[in-house]
Amino acid sequence: MLNNLRSSLQPHLEKIGKTFAATGISPNGWSCIGLVFAFASAFVYGWNIEFSLIIGGIILLVAGFFDIVDGQVARVSQKVTRTGGFLDSVFDKIAEVAIFLGILVGGFAEPYLVFLAITFSLLVSYTRSRAESLGVKLQGIGIGERAERLLVIAIIGIIGFMEYAVIIVIIIAAITFIQRIVVTAKALKAVSYTHLRAHETRHDLVCRLLLE
């Protein structure tokens, strides 16, 4: 859902990209920095010291910021590559799982809730990956993409209600999972119908030519 706002924020995001691109650090380098901050957040959650929810949440927001930076640096420096996109996607999943494991180790939510949150979060990512391999674009589809999920964890965690944050993540991720299945199924059905109609049209044309 937040991805849909990026077009309106693009001028500001480009400025951020140009600023960080001027450092000379590659997009993959910024991805690694974001991953390090995500690991740091997970460690703070897992350590469960005083104010760990606040500190971990702030660090998680910083990690999310660098998740924006890497893509913008790649665009403004014209270094968008399939390898970079692949690594960014893999790093995102590693970071998300690490965050949930930190929450689990820190005892901020029931284990079964953390398991469900991880499961639905990964299923949301899998449905997009599988759908896009079939030619169906799902970016921006659903109310619980990765950015929304981590924002919920960070903000609601900061105010001290981490277990509720995990429950909200489960709900929005499950809804997004279902939304993406429905959208993909409809898109693939429409494509199949179009191909069928095209085949029937070619068949009718051949029959007319043979009958002439």
Local confidence band at 194 (pLDDT 50, 70, 90 cut-offs): low
**Whether pLDDT at 6 is above 90:** no
CA–CA separation, 25 and 33 (whole Å) = 10
Give 205's pLDDT tier (boundaries 50, 70, 90).
very low
Q: Does the pLDDT of residue 13 top 60, yes or no? A: yes
98, two tokens: 């690490």
Yes or no: say if 96 and 39 are a contact pair by the CB < 8 Å rule: no
- In the numeric block, which tokens belong to residue 83? 């390898």
Backbone angles phi, psi at 35, to 5 degrees: -65, -40
Give the Cα separation of 8 and 144 in Å (integer).
20
Chain centre distance of CA 55: 23
Q: Please give the C-alpha separations between residue 104 and each of 26, 107, 134, 160, 199, in angstroms, as whole numbers.
A: 33, 5, 35, 15, 54
Residue type, 55: I
Of residues 4 and 182, more confidently modeled: 182
Known active-site residue 92: yes
Q: What's the average model confidence in pLDDT over 41-60?
A: 95
Got the DSSP string for 133-188? HTT---TT-SS--HHHHHHHHHHHHHTT-HHHHHHHHHHHHHHHHHHHHHHHHHHH
Q: In this predicted model, what pLDDT tens digit does every residue of 96-148 receive, in sequence order?
A: 999 999 999 999 999 999 999 999 999 999 999 999 889 998 888 888 888 89
Question: Which member of 67, 70, 92, 204 is catalytic?
Answer: 92
Distance of alpha carbon 177 from alpha carbon 146, whole angstroms = 12
Alpha-carbon distance of 106 to 109, in angstroms, equals 8
pLDDT digits (tens, 9 = 90+) for 161-190: 999 999 999 999 999 999 999 999 999 988
**What is this structure's pTM?**
0.83
121 SS3 class: helix
Contact assessment for residue 19 and residue 69, using Cβ atoms and an 8 Å cutoff? no
- pLDDT averaged over the chain? 87
CB 82 within 8 A of CB 25: no
